Structure 1
Amino acid sequence: MVPKKQRRAVLSWEDVAAASEELAPEARSLLQEIAGELGAAGTSQAEAAASRGPWFLRSLEVQGHVGIGVTPLRLEFLPRPGIVVVSARNGIGKTSAADALRHVLSNGEPRRYQLAEANLHHPERQIAAVVTDGVSDAEMTCGGQGPVSWKNSDGSSGAIPPDWRVAYEKFSPVLLYPEISPVIEQPGVLHTYLYDGIPIDFLTNLLARVDKIRTVGRAADRKVAEAYDRAVTVLSRVGMAATLVSRMRECGATPTLEATAELRAAVAELPASAPAQPSLVPVWAVDAGLVAECVKAARRVERARASIVSGADVVRRALGQLLHETHTYPETDSADDICPVCATPGVRWRDRAQHTVADLDAGLGELRDAERTLKSQLQALASAFPNPLLPATRTALRHPAIKDGDPFLARWDRLIDEVKGLMSNATPQLLEHLCTESRAISAWYSGSRTALLVNYEESLNERVHVRQQVESWLATLETHRVECDRGIRAVKLAKAVEQWIRDARAMLFEPIAGRVTQLWTELSNDSDVVITDMRLSGGVRQARKVDIDMTVGDVIVKSGPDAPNVLSTGQRNALMLATYLPRATQPESPFRFLVLDDPVHAFDAWRVRYLAQLLAAQAATYQIIVLSHDERLWQELRAIGQYVQHIRLDRPPNEASTVLTRDITSPGLGYLEDLERVLDAEREVPLGTDSAITAMTLAICRQALDTEAGLYVEVLGRRAGLSDDELRAARDRAGDSRQQLQLLNDYAQKLGRQPIDLALYDRTIADLNKGGHGRSPEKAKPQRRMQWLKETRRIIKAIHKLGN
């Protein structure tokens, strides 16, 4: 690794220009050429996106996406730094909402995780997210499977700006747990995730362009080298051009222009034609299975012929004529059963003739079928025999290098003659003889053919072919010389750019790595696993990895890919967050919002507390939106005095496709608002008896007070250092509203805060407690009920003041 003081900060095109002075002239000239082509990219797109903003999230509306059905889910946010907790039970739609936001903000980029996107409740998807930079809003929308569109406050619209897409990919303001969890398991993914967050895209673009030139150059080099190798091989076999061979080997596959001119002059003296290739037919083969089928068919024909007498067909025709209905012969012969052939009476000649005809029909039918089968097999067997010899082939096979040429040529001719009569005289013996002879001739011809082709290839080594090969190489070199030259320069330039990338990623990752180790320490200060350093290493194209140095107890572990394997699930999740936050909150990011889906997964109470402290510190400059089913993070945030907007998602009974939202930042005030609406309506249209309205008012007021007091008992108790068990026991002992308020005052005093003066609300508190035990005041007037509501609201606001 280059020492920090000696590293060159190649972080812009100006730095590239300065660093290029140290390159070799050929590499520098190629760099200047590429830089001219990429001149418009002097500023990275991420930096262009950063020139706008900072962006905050104003709203999100989702319909028909994953688990959210026909009723739109709408979330409203204050576009400013702070924390919003969106809580819900599992399966309500938290991740569906976060995924919908990711979809539009990322311009519909494919997910890095598996998700069944088809909606079971509503087929038409509509997503709309509004962001603002404080001056104007921008709305990103997506309908169905179509593209994401961008609309400005002034009404102008179009596609998502390219700089926004690049910035989103680099800084990833939305973190979904299923998307980031594999990062900890797969070091290559972790490297990509971290590497993508470093603003050196101009260097990677430069390397990609250099690699393209190098790839083209390598392909050209291969073509020239192949032509060169062929020429040298042929030339070296001649034995008459040793000087030319020596000169070619001295110059190599890509000689200079001067050397190329010398070689052309030497080659011009060589003959310019090549010998003709011998005319040879392909080798044939005899299929043993097909031969066996033909022999079988021939034997069947023999059997069929042997089963009938000679002239059977003539006899069959004669008998047919005698038996035909129109045949006439003397009536007396017929009446006296006299045979029309031999004139013998009483022999039942007609029956005997019919039987004879049937026997002849069967025998002749079998013979014809057997002959048809044999003919079909013989036609298929035709490819097992050679074609007649062409004069050119006969001449070639009489080459002196061919052994037994004339005897086999005579056998070839004889075989052709014998095959001609095969269709009319195919006996099993003849078939076997011809096929055996064909195999023998084919074996001889195959060897002879190979010998002739080898002889031809050797003849090409004569000087006439040498000239063609050498000229072909020089022509290939001329065609690809520029590509080869640029490829050589690209190889040298690539080494320099690779080193610039290594140095730049090391320098730029240092603050991120420092922040990662710091966050890990804060999230895991109760663990004996300590991460001391993290580095991006390996190649700049492949074999990327992340080296993580850590100590486990007194054991020093230095293992890149394997380091996370020693961590528990909670620790890996902590490492995930420690990795994510520094990347997402780089100063160059135009986003001032972070959306975290289930960040407390597998966290124990201590780690939740540490995370709350980290998020509270980050919330000074960032809008942080946390989606979780776990209420502990909200409690810990409130315990450290962080104001948190709290939104609850829920599905009403029997309406699985509907997701409702409710702001429960102050649930007690929410109850009172509901009660106030009921009482206002009651003044217009009575809802029941006075006693019923009184009981309802007391019940809701007490529920509002107890809910708010209970929340802030948790907040102040945690702030005062009480454990979960201590808080639980204390709340169990506080049986009514007054006792809960007193417990809240006790914790406030421990924290040095002015307690609530409960004497101011003594009568209302007493009435609420009585109402909780079924002893509502008799004949309470509407003014009295409004007094309970107003004083309950004052007590809740006093609780807020106490806890904030």
Structure 2
Amino acid sequence: MDPAFAAVHEVVLDRVAEDSTLPEPAKELVLAALEGSEELDAWLSGTHAVSSRRDSQPRTGARGVFLRSISVTGFRGVSSRATLHVEPGPGLTLVAGRNGSGKSSFAEAAELALTGGNARWNDKPAVWQKGWRNLHHTGQSSVELELVAEGAKPTHITWSWADDNLSTGEWSQHAHGEKRRPHPAAQWQEELVAYRPFLPYSELGKLINGRPSDLYDSLHRLLGLDSVRDAIKRLSERERTHRDHAKDVRCEREQLRDDCLALNDERAQECAVLLGEPDPDLTAVANLVLGDDSAVAQLAALRRITGLKLPSTQQVANAVEKLTVAIDKHSALSTAQAEAARNLAVLIRHSITHHKTTGDGPCPVCGHGTLNATWRRQAEHAADEHERHAKQLHDAQQDVTNALAAARELIQPVPEELQVEVAGVPTAEALHAWREWHALRTLPSGELSARLIEHHRALSDHIGKAQHAAISTLEQRNEIWQPLARRLSTWHDRAARLREQATRREQLTTALKWLTKTNADLRRERWEPFAEESQRVWRSLRQQSNVDLGDIKLAGGTVQRRVDLDVSIDGTRSEALSVMSQGELHALGLALFLPRATVDRSPFRFIVIDDPVQAMDPAKVDGLAHVLAATARTRQVVVFTHDARLTEAVRRLQLPATVWEVCRRERSQVEIRKIDDPADRYLADARALSETKGMPSGLCSELVANFCRAALEATSEKVFRARRLGNGDEHSAVESLLANAVKTHHKLTLAVLDDPSKDGELYARLRLAGPRAVDTVRACKQGAHRGHHGDLRTLINDTERLVRWLEKR
């Protein structure tokens, strides 16, 4: 694999090993920063060794993978098991369906089964992941992906779960004829990061909303360099901490020098001379401050003891009072009825949603009650009450948790100052009392509230005695010199630590500069081919847009991050986000996604795109159809859409594609069927209805007439659109005329006469189609409202003849 597109960790390992100019400690710092914050801090403290060894096991990631089927059971909009079959291999598959039909459930299921997550819910609270189960399904839920890889048996990857929490599910896989086993997630991890083959609509939306850095982040993720950027941030934070420490020490030295000069004391004057040097003699400073080396530790311990801090009596009392009140409130509210309120509220809300979707009718659970407006008002009131009780209990529990955390926050670890003997200071008693105080942190809320005040009082007494003894000892020192000497001693300790850490600071700076440059190189290497291909895709998608896209650059670094888009309108440069419409931004998102998902190095030979058409004008829909068809020459492209314009464009442009329609029946039963021309589908449905036994004749005749009318309208739109677009008319003008043609008569007028103002001449022209053509139109229009009283088969056949005549216009 080309190093520019290999796993980023491997790339950095290679470049670290190859760079002979990078010192060994800086190399280890780079690798530790890539591993994580804890590993970096451990290395800096000398307790962690970084290894540059590589995994000797051969990689067994996916190679040449195509989709074969997506199966869904009890997930999202699908109740009983439903399977979408797709032909493994290059080609374009459109999965159409109205909003709420369940089509997107298959796209989300494929992403969940392969990646273990879903981009739509990644930034949502955990509670969102508990609503994935279909309301009409009981028992085991699952999503299953069947994959076909080069040189391997078809493989099924399944995510199944039994309760409402998807995160507790089981992730498994099995090949045909083999036992099911846990799915090795690591096997796919690097490929999915570098070449993620899924593009949900939510990812397109991120290009529209948010700050410039959000756009940068969404594009930067395409490069798989987030781990490098995180490592740079870790190194930068540590390097900045060292730099700030050095600055503080320098500023404090300058202030101490001025204070020494102002003090009429020989020791202070001599110390001022020492502090005037850029690199003072710290040993000489210590001798002046403490008199001799043996006194350093003793005086430092005395000063630290005097600086010990305990929470005030009022703070402790307030914490105990808040904790006690929270416990009492929670106990009063914590009943079985209150704990069940949330689940009841969720159940009622689902029932209300069902009523909104299906309208008035019998209860789908018991079959006896009636769901109507009265029930809905009562149900909404009940849901509000249950949610209020559930929130009260949750808030009370949170109050207990917060109060307990606040009380424990007052209890600090045993200070080192008490763990050494200091002459003349009773540290042993204070140490014992503080240990008992610190042990309170492990107590539950009730015990802690009962014992906190008593232990605080005892500890305060012992600390007070120790501090009084320490202060008395220190006061024996010269009263004029002592305050300044104390400050000098504190500064001396900080300056000494800073000097010890100078080498670390240099190593951090070297590692940070090297990794920042390496990241810029990798970013440029990985982005350039994507940017060039994105420009090519944009030129296909832009169609009649006057926006031209030039260079695309990722600029900035950890803090200031932005995307520089070279955009011009009619040859004049402009800021991209201020001039692009939502449709153009969606097109830009596709232009950025497709090159990354279809590079030759990607093992995935399929891409799944959900709802890419939203906000696109008709011209761009045509461009999208061409781009998808071109991509499908070498990739398996599966597109989910509720917008009929994409399927219409594919048919009108005569692009090779397989079209499936997803329909959602009662109780979330999903039906998937292959469709061709919409008019043929409507006529086929009409014939099927006319032959259905047991259906009331009035209802059957009305539905058949509706399907026949729909076939005439769909054909009229198709004929008019093809004629006008073929003559070079603008998409927007054609779609505007179709949008204004709200009735069947108006749509037929456009198809037959090509002029909406000639609707009065329609019937005269329709007589050219046959003696029953006008009667057929009237029968379709009237029957759609009052039912057809003639022979249904005759109506269907006459409609089909009229459809064929229209298609020749």
TM-score range relative to shorter protein: 0.5 to 0.7
2:507 aligned with 1:498: no
Report deviation, 1:220: 7.6
**Equivalent of 2:85 in 76, 100, 110:** 76
The match for 2:146 is 130
The match for 1:162 is 186
Q: Relative to structure 2, which stretch is displaced further, 60-69 or 75-84?
A: 60-69
For the structure 1 residues 678 and 95, does the alpha-carbon distance in structure 2 shift closer, same or farther, using more than 3 Å as the test? closer
Report deviation, 1:161: 1.9
Report deviation, 1:669: 9.5
Separation in 2 of the partners of 1:627 and 1:545?
Answer: 31
Q: Relative to structure 2, which stretch is displaced further, 591-600 or 95-104?
A: 95-104
Q: Relative to structure 2, which stretch is displaced further, 502-511 or 481-490?
A: 481-490
**Equivalent residues in 2 for 1:114-263 (5 A)?**
117=132, 119-122=134-137, 125-134=141-150, 135-144=152-161, 145=166, 146-147=168-169, 149-153=171-175, 154-155=178-179, 157-186=181-210, 187-200=212-225, 203-204=228-229, 207=232, 210-211=235-236, 214=239, 217=242, 239-240=266-267, 242-247=269-274, 250=277, 252=279
**Equivalent of 1:547 in 561, 564, 567:** 564
**Equivalent of 1:581 in 558, 578, 594:** 594
2:74 aligned with 1:64: yes
**Equivalent residues in 2 for 1:343-492 (5 A)?**
459=478, 462=481, 466=485, 470=489, 473-474=492-493, 477=496, 484-492=502-510
Matched position secondary structure for 1:589:
coil
**Equivalent residues in 2 for 1:361-760 (5 A)?**
459=478, 462=481, 466=485, 470=489, 473-474=492-493, 477=496, 484-539=502-557, 541-557=558-574, 559=575, 563-652=576-665, 655-665=666-676, 732=752
The match for 2:7 is none
The match for 1:15 is 15
For the structure 1 residues 627 and 704, does the alpha-carbon distance in structure 2 shift closer, same or farther, using more than 3 Å as the test? same
The size of the alignment, in residue pairs, is 546
Separation in 2 of the partners of 1:775 and 1:38?
Answer: 77
The match for 1:289 is none
Report deviation, 1:545: 1.0
For the structure 1 residues 592 and 229, does the alpha-carbon distance in structure 2 shift closer, same or farther, using more than 3 Å as the test? farther
For the structure 1 residues 495 and 203, does the alpha-carbon distance in structure 2 shift closer, same or farther, using more than 3 Å as the test? same
Q: Relative to structure 2, which stretch is displaced further, 223-232 or 545-554?
A: 223-232
The match for 1:761 is none
Report deviation, 1:66: 2.5
Separation in 2 of the partners of 1:457 and 1:84?
Answer: 90
The answer as to whether partners of 2:289 and 2:485 remain within 8 angstroms in 1 is no
Report deviation, 1:618: 0.3
Report deviation, 1:731: 5.7
Separation in 1 of the partners of 2:796 and 2:618?
Answer: 39
Amino acid at match of 1:520: W
Amino acid at match of 1:556: R
Matched position secondary structure for 2:136:
coil
Matched position secondary structure for 2:669:
coil
Q: Deviations over 1:261-289 (max 9, x none)?
A: 999999539798769999xxx9x9xxxxx
Report deviation, 1:611: 0.8
Matched position secondary structure for 2:609:
strand
For the structure 1 residues 521 and 458, does the alpha-carbon distance in structure 2 shift closer, same or farther, using more than 3 Å as the test? farther
Q: Deviations over 1:317-347 (max 9, x none)?
A: xxxxxxxxxxxxxxxxxxxxxxxxxxxxxxx
The answer as to whether partners of 1:224 and 1:254 remain within 8 angstroms in 2 is no
Separation in 1 of the partners of 2:481 and 2:796?
Answer: 120
Separation in 1 of the partners of 2:677 and 2:524?
Answer: 47
Separation in 1 of the partners of 2:285 and 2:549?
Answer: 61
Q: Relative to structure 2, which stretch is displaced further, 241-250 or 600-609?
A: 241-250
Separation in 2 of the partners of 1:251 and 1:263?
Answer: 18
Matched position secondary structure for 1:188:
helix
TM-score by length of 2: 0.54
- Unaligned 5+ segments in structure 1 are 1-9, 285-448, 689-698, 740-768, 777-791, 797-804
For the structure 1 residues 464 and 79, does the alpha-carbon distance in structure 2 shift closer, same or farther, using more than 3 Å as the test? same
Report deviation, 1:642: 2.9
Separation in 2 of the partners of 1:253 and 1:118?
Answer: 70
Separation in 2 of the partners of 1:658 and 1:668?
Answer: 24
Report deviation, 1:711: 11
Separation in 2 of the partners of 1:775 and 1:103?
Answer: 46
For the structure 1 residues 708 and 568, does the alpha-carbon distance in structure 2 shift closer, same or farther, using more than 3 Å as the test? closer
TM-score by length of 1: 0.55
Matched position secondary structure for 2:223:
coil
Report deviation, 1:536: 0.5
The answer as to whether partners of 1:600 and 1:608 remain within 8 angstroms in 2 is yes
Separation in 2 of the partners of 1:603 and 1:209?
Answer: 41
Separation in 2 of the partners of 1:497 and 1:204?
Answer: 9
**Equivalent residues in 2 for 1:47-58 (5 A)?**
52-58=62-68
For the structure 1 residues 164 and 671, does the alpha-carbon distance in structure 2 shift closer, same or farther, using more than 3 Å as the test? same
For the structure 1 residues 76 and 704, does the alpha-carbon distance in structure 2 shift closer, same or farther, using more than 3 Å as the test? farther
Report deviation, 1:160: 4.3
The answer as to whether partners of 1:635 and 1:714 remain within 8 angstroms in 2 is no
For the structure 1 residues 590 and 250, does the alpha-carbon distance in structure 2 shift closer, same or farther, using more than 3 Å as the test? farther
Amino acid at match of 1:511: P
The match for 1:93 is 102
Separation in 2 of the partners of 1:182 and 1:774?
Answer: 48
For the structure 1 residues 48 and 24, does the alpha-carbon distance in structure 2 shift closer, same or farther, using more than 3 Å as the test? same
The answer as to whether partners of 2:102 and 2:664 remain within 8 angstroms in 1 is no
Q: Which has the higher relative contact order, 1 or 2, with Cα contacts under 8 A spaced 6 or more apart?
A: 1
For the structure 1 residues 470 and 617, does the alpha-carbon distance in structure 2 shift closer, same or farther, using more than 3 Å as the test? same
Amino acid at match of 1:189: D
Separation in 2 of the partners of 1:628 and 1:613?
Answer: 16
Q: Deviations over 1:40-59 (max 9, x none)?
A: 4699x9x967x531221121
The match for 1:749 is none
The match for 1:692 is none
Separation in 1 of the partners of 2:31 and 2:688?
Answer: 74
Q: Deviations over 1:419-471 (max 9, x none)?
A: xxxxxxxxxxxxxxxxxxxxxxxxxxxxxx9xx99x96995663798489649
Q: Deviations over 1:558-589 (max 9, x none)?
A: x4xxx212222222222222222223223332
Report deviation, 1:622: 1.0
The answer as to whether partners of 1:228 and 1:470 remain within 8 angstroms in 2 is no
Separation in 2 of the partners of 1:547 and 1:457?
Answer: 68
Separation in 2 of the partners of 1:564 and 1:642?
Answer: 32
2:114 aligned with 1:105: yes
The match for 2:442 is none
Please give the root-mean-square deviation of Cα atoms over the aligned residues, in Å. 5.8
Amino acid at match of 1:121: H
Identity value in percent: 24
Q: Relative to structure 2, which stretch is displaced further, 115-124 or 496-505?
A: 115-124
Separation in 1 of the partners of 2:583 and 2:25?
Answer: 54
Separation in 2 of the partners of 1:263 and 1:619?
Answer: 81
The answer as to whether partners of 1:140 and 1:148 remain within 8 angstroms in 2 is no
For the structure 1 residues 458 and 663, does the alpha-carbon distance in structure 2 shift closer, same or farther, using more than 3 Å as the test? farther
Amino acid at match of 1:64: G
